[in-house]
Structure 1
């Protein structure tokens, strides 16, 4: 919370702006969806950066669940391959762990369109750290 923010005000996040909805969340599996509309590039296709935001969000949520109370997860490496364009509907991402350690967590994120076709594959590595004092 900033000095100018009232306690009853919620901070707007990138998830809000991109309309990402998390539908399932645990260290073992995170599922989320995002509309294509509003997240497109000039050619009318889902923006690759939007897919990357979805992937990093889902992998980070899983990593944070794995890190547990009093710890945080920060992304240190994201790789994403775009397989096909999407013009409408929603995309759904599913993040599953590749490796869950004490200081590092890695997730694979598969993003599919409404018909279940894979449109992107990603891998996210997060560093797990103690929560800084006062945060």
Structure 2
């Protein structure tokens, strides 16, 4: 990584302003040489009608952390990153607290990337297992 952990996390926070990530209160909290972690509070704002975390909010969290990771690890200054496929298996419900999404590469190609994203609660229980494919599109000069 050509930037420090603090610079990367600050950059992630900056790009979330006035976006879905800000609306869902997604915060990027850790980054390493091959992973990115974000957290999201579980409040009524992200519940489905019966009072548990909405699957769509989990998918939005997963795509946010995976796409941000592609941006970081593929030099996003030169590429637009887009999610092109996502699949999620929601395995446990949660009604309150926080969830943490950790994105790690399965495949780091020049054009397409495949991410393994695990969403867990504070006790490390698996809430959702997600696979995301992103594409890096060159920015026009």
CA RMSD between the two structures: 1.5
How many residues align? The count is 124
Q: Aligned residue for 1:5?
A: none
Q: Aligned residue for 1:78?
A: 86
Distance change in 2, residues 1:27/1:58 (3 Å): farther
Q: Aligned residue for 1:12?
A: 18
> Which among 112, 125, 138 is matched to residue 130 of structure 1?
138
**Structure with greater helix share of residues:** 2
1:78-122 CA deviation, whole Å, 9 max, x = no partner? 000000100110000100000001111111000001211001000
5+ residue gaps, structure 1, are 1-9
Find the aligned partners of 2:95 and 2:140 in 1 and give their Cα distance: 41
Shift of 1:27: 6.2
Is 2:27 aligned against 1:21? yes
5+ residue gaps, structure 2, are 1-15
SS at match of 1:116: coil
SS at match of 1:19: coil
Q: Aligned residue for 2:74?
A: 67
1:25-55 CA deviation, whole Å, 9 max, x = no partner? 3561010000110211110000000000010
Structure number with greater Rg is: 1
